């Protein structure tokens, strides 16, 4: 049995959330999203607190899974990312934050950088999460592919970025509030 298959148990369902563009407003430049570079730029989107509260009340474990390659590239200090995550955890009922700091762009061959499912697999193992009953919500192709690779259902938040999806998501939504509506409608807990 492969690692993903081994984690499809009777564990708890989870919603894995990308950070930038799902939890907080991504900074856009030439129709491409970028992460905030300071706590002052970290702006939680208006529908997020309510969506997280509804998912949590329905029994989902909430895990943020985020690539933060600027740390690995040396263009952003890890302390800034850590302060953003600490602030986010005081504002939202998130159970865990998984972060890949590897640089990507051929500069790393890790198992945690989305689209690889390493962050989801790690959280599933440590938090007893049933991936087959879980969801991945993101605004980039890497999020959709990561969710599929982990055996989760996927929701794509479509902002019309200048990039193509590589795999079709199970659903599309305009924001996390709408994604939460889909999850709660589609899931029988």
Catalytic position from the list 20, 70, 130, 143: 20
Q: Which of 2, 18, 50, 145 is catalytic?
A: 18
CATH number at residue 46: 3.40.50.1000
Going residue by residue through the chain (189 aa), what tens digit of pLDDT does each one get? 455 544 445 799 999 999 999 999 988 877 778 899 999 999 999 999 999 999 999 999 999 999 998 899 888 899 999 999 999 999 999 999 999 998 877 667 789 999 999 999 999 999 999 999 999 999 999 999 999 999 999 999 998 888 899 999 999 999 999 999 999 999 865
CB 52 within 8 A of CB 61: no
Instruction: Burial-class residue 187 by CB neighbours within 10 Å (0-12, 13-18, 19+).
Output: middle
* Catalytic residue flag (residue 2): no
Residue 6's pLDDT is 46
Q: How many domains does the chain have?
A: 1
Active site residue 50: no
Q: Which domain holds residue 147?
A: 3-186
> For residue 51, how many C-alpha atoms fall within 13 Å in the half-sphere facing its CB?
24
């Amino acid at each position: 049995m492969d690692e993903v298959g081994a984690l499809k148990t009777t564990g708890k369902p989870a919603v894995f959330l990308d950070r930038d563009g799902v939890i907080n407003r991504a900074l856009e430049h030439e129709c491409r999203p970028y992460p905030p570079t300071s706590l002052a730029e970290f702006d939680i989107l208006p529908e997020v607190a309510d969506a997280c509260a509804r998912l949590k009340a329905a029994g989902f474990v909430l895990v943020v899974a985020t690539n933060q390659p600027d740390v690995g590239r040396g263009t952003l200090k890890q302390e800034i990312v850590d302060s953003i995550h600490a602030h986010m955890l005081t504002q939202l009922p998130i159970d865990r934050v998984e972060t890949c700091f590897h640089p990507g762009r051929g500069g790393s061959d890790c198992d945690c950088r989305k689209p690889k499912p390493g962050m989801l697999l790690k959280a599933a193992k440590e938090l007893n999460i049933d991936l087959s009953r879980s969801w991945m919500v993101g605004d980039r192709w890497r999020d959709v592919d990561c969710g599929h690779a982990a055996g989760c259902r996927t929701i794509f938040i479509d902002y019309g970025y200048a990039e193509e999806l590589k795999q079709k998501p199970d659903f599309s939504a305009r924001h996390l509030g709408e994604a939460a509506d889909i999850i709660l409608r589609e899931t029988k807990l």
